[in-house]
């Protein structure tokens, strides 16, 4: 899923972690507000400060083995509004 050009999305993706390959690409002008824990294979963000990703107490799990996530360094990040961006593998 691509969120670009000032897009704003409030929702969750792959909540049961059964999707084969789920990628989310967020540009710096767009935002995502989580409504439930979500799982992605690849996650890119136009702002490395993650200021456009609001956790609302939920966790976004990412595949630390995916090359797309190398920029995250396998680390856990605290999100605005509570919650985390966290490696799954």
pLDDT tens for residues 42-80? 999 999 999 999 999 999 999 999 999 999 999 999 999
User: For the chain, what is the largest distance between any 2 Cα atoms, rounded to a whole number of angstroms?
Assistant: 31
Mean pLDDT of the chain: 96
Instruction: Mention every residue, 6+ apart, whose C-beta is less than 8 A from residue 68.
Output: 23, 41, 42, 43, 44
Q: What is the pLDDT of residue 24?
A: 97
Domain count of the fold of the chain = 1
| pLDDT of the residue at 67 | 95
Tell me whether residue 58 is in a domain. yes
Range of the domain at 45: 2-15+25-87
20 falls within a domain: no
Asked, for residue 36, whether it belongs to a domain, the answer is yes
Question: Does any domain span residue 46?
Answer: yes
Does residue 67 belong to any structural domain of this protein? Answer: yes
Q: How confident is the model at residue 5 (pLDDT cuts 50, 70, 90)?
A: very high
């Amino acid at each position: 899923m691509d969120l670009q050009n000032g897009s704003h999305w409030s929702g969750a993706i792959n909540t049961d972690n059964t999707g084969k390959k789920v990628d989310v690409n967020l540009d710096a002008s767009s935002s995502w507000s989580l409504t439930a824990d979500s799982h992605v294979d690849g996650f890119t963000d136009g702002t490395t400060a993650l200021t456009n990703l609001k956790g609302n107490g939920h966790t976004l799990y990412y595949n630390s083995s995916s090359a797309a996530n190398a920029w995250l360094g396998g680390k856990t990040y605290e999100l605005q509004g509570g919650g985390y961006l966290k490696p799954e593998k």
